[in-house]
Structure 1
Amino acid sequence: MTQKNNIKVCIVVSSLGVGGAERSSAILSKMLVSLGYDVTIISILDDIVYDYKGNLINLESLTSAYRGLRKRWRKFIISRKLLSNNQFDYIIDAASRPLWFKQWFINTFVYQKTDTVFVVHNYNLNSYFPDNKVLGKYLYKNSYELVGVSKDSVIHFKEKYGLEQGRCIYNAFDEAHWDMLSKAKVDILEEPYILSYGRILDESKNYSFLIRTYAQSDLPKKGIKLFIVGDGPDKTKIQNLVKLCGIQEYIVFKEFLENPFPYVKHALFTTLTSNYEGFPMVLIESLAMRTPVVSVDCKSGPSEVIVTGKNGILVPFKDEQAYTEALNKMIEDQDFYKRCKEGTITSVCKFRIENIISEWQAILPCKR
């Protein structure tokens, strides 16, 4: 039985669905509850997919009768009342924060004097900081802690905004839960396939790069399909590019899946071609399923996980020829592929819950 420690923590999230940041926040709630923390989750949107623990406050559901400014005002009132009545020891703000004035208002009138940990989930700082460096530094000057999910992202925001605070705590993975999910019965492709999954937003995920390099590779002629799982505003654009490249018969599109793990587990390898990330959970999820990864060396995360020849291939950023060659090598060099597959699990041991949980415990000590 979990021993209660009487520390009350509120985790603020944009949602608990569709995305690595959302999945990692759900896992964080489970980690803290396992340590005895009293956890409440405030979800701004009504998108609850991932398994979590604690008391959930769904602001969108509670304000469904309102629209526009009245809805936003009701969310503010509910949040302020909740935080005031519960007297939380800590707030962990893991939501995106693209509007600096709105965030200043929340910091001042909702979070007030509660010790607040702000999580930065992306190397691209537009969703967390204003462009103005003075405003960015002012916005977080009184934060209890700033946590980045990769070393590169922490260095980036500290240097850009002249901040002294900032530490890296990697996203954790729930090995037992993911292993259980991977055993679900699903219709797996009969042909060998490689996999890409996530939100189809070309500006950040660069699916166009993936389609071009796959089309140029030897994989289609070898009958190895590309399985793309996910939804997003650029899905039609990518489907049109597939047609333009004449590779429709080799590409399989599937909508977003709450549980992608069976498909990850049975893939030859997964791909990542993003222009930027924070700490892409696709890498950890794949390696935890013993599936190697071919990834571009974007900022940030891949270089802190992928070691060429150990658990996949790390390709120079935006180098299409090198990426095409990497796709071919994973198929044609079976000894190389075998070494990569054998190194997957050991390469992510440090990201297991039991190795990350102490880092959160260290910054959320008992105050009583």
Structure 2
Amino acid sequence: MLSDKGFNVHLVTITNTIGYKFKAQLLNLGLHKNERNDLLNKARRLQLFKTYLKVQEVDIVLDFRMRKSALKELLIQKFLYRKVKTVYMVRSSHLDYYFPKTSTLTRKLFETKPICVLTEGIKLSIEDRFKLKNISVIPNAINLKDYQESYAIPTHIERKYILASGRLIPGVKQVDKLIEAYAKSKLPQVNIDLRILGRGETLDALKALAKKMGLEKQVVFEGFVKDPEPYVANALYTVLCSKFEGFPRVILESLACGTPVVATDCPTGPAEILDGTNGILIPHNDFEALTQAMNKLAFDEELRNQFKVSSRSGICKFDALKIANQWEHYLNQVYESY
């Protein structure tokens, strides 16, 4: 979005892994990381980054790092970012990823720094916990023009299904809880499958859980899918029951495909996207209510169709063109305020 707006964007990655498309000049610090990742190697990469910022005459840094160590943050602020404007990005409601746990130290480090978050819920949490005030909200964006009105169903799929997507890692997406809720629902009895897109370290354990419940043929793990839109568009609905989120793109992508959503009201995001016209929002971690909602939307075709009609219109405010304008205005403000 920023490149298309005319900004000269540089992407700096700490690890030698990039899983998404980008328009930017790349500084891959992961290529300079040795196997030991020793202190001297870290210092060299830090100096490399500092030199890069100076040579490229970077005006603003959007810092997406996890920032748990107060001492490390003090070093980075005083050494790396001393002469550059920096916006501290917060992409999850799990604030321990982004700030030291001690409120006093966090206030000392960030009380004068601009912070940009994804949701109003995250903003309120930071204000309440750390008493920080310089916080702006810019949500995730989606290119609605990139999504078709319909997609052909993948050829290997023969039965109706509901869909879940995400990284299969411990303690976040709660896919194990979803499988248990699905097992208690009426969906397996009528051959409505649960298909799961994604990969991660809990994949084998989740497969074992499905097999233990006698659902190894109805809980289908598709793995990583580069172009998931056909799966999303042809699902009865998407389901999300995360422990916490930032601003879940999986909901935006589902609604962009015309597919309604069943989601728990986890902190944060779902409540700021699902407005009652495009899906069902249930209490956080209420898995009995999740089962009931899954049943309701699976068997109530009229309700699903009502949600489908409103799915795209309800997320127009998150279209990339509008969010890009927000970013342009915000970055100009940041530049002028320093």
TM-score greater than 0.5 by the shorter chain = yes
Contact 1:286–1:293 (CA<8 Å) still a contact in 2?
yes
| Structure 1 pair 212–159 and aligned structure 2 pair: CA distance change class (3 A) | same
1:240-319 to 2 correspondences below 5 Å? 240-308=208-276, 310-319=277-286
What is the aligned partner in structure 2 of residue 212 from structure 1? 180
What is the aligned partner in structure 1 of residue 140 from structure 2? 171
1:318-357 to 2 correspondences below 5 Å? 318-357=285-324
Instruction: Supply the distance in 1 between the matched residues of 2:50 and 2:87 (Cα, whole angstroms).
Output: 17
Deviation of residue 251 (structure 1)? 0.8
Instruction: Supply the distance in 2 between the matched residues of 1:177 and 1:334 (Cα, whole angstroms).
Output: 27
1:80 is aligned, of 50, 53, 68, to: 50
Deviation of residue 177 (structure 1)? 3.6
1:60 corresponds to 2:30: yes
Instruction: Supply the distance in 1 between the matched residues of 2:144 and 2:190 (Cα, whole angstroms).
Output: 33
TM-score, length-normalised on structure 1? Answer: 0.86
TM-score, length-normalised on structure 2? Answer: 0.93
Q: Which digits, 9 at most, give the CA deviation of each residue in 1:269-306, with x for residues without a partner?
A: 11100011111111111111111111001110111111
Contact 2:33–2:45 (CA<8 Å) still a contact in 1?
no
Contact 1:202–1:208 (CA<8 Å) still a contact in 2?
no
1:99-110 to 2 correspondences below 5 Å? 99-110=69-80
What is the aligned partner in structure 1 of residue 161 from structure 2? 193
SS state of the match for residue 231, structure 1?
coil
Q: What RMSD in Å do the two structures reach over aligned CA positions?
A: 2.1
| Structure 1 pair 191–285 and aligned structure 2 pair: CA distance change class (3 A) | same
1:139 corresponds to 2:109: yes
Instruction: Supply the distance in 1 between the matched residues of 2:65 and 2:228 (Cα, whole angstroms).
Output: 23
Q: Which digits, 9 at most, give the CA deviation of each residue in 1:192-224, with x for residues without a partner?
A: 111111111231111121011100011111111
The number of equivalent residue pairs is 334
SS state of the match for residue 195, structure 2?
strand
Instruction: Supply the distance in 1 between the matched residues of 2:155 and 2:188 (Cα, whole angstroms).
Output: 21
Unaligned runs of 5+ in 1: 1-30
Unaligned runs of 5+ in 2: none
Q: Which amino acid aligns with 2:174?
A: N
Deviation of residue 156 (structure 1)? 0.3
Q: Which amino acid aligns with 1:314?
A: L
| Structure 1 pair 258–315 and aligned structure 2 pair: CA distance change class (3 A) | same
1:229 is aligned, of 191, 194, 197, to: 197
Instruction: Supply the distance in 1 between the matched residues of 2:153 and 2:265 (Cα, whole angstroms).
Output: 34
Q: Which amino acid aligns with 1:176?
A: K
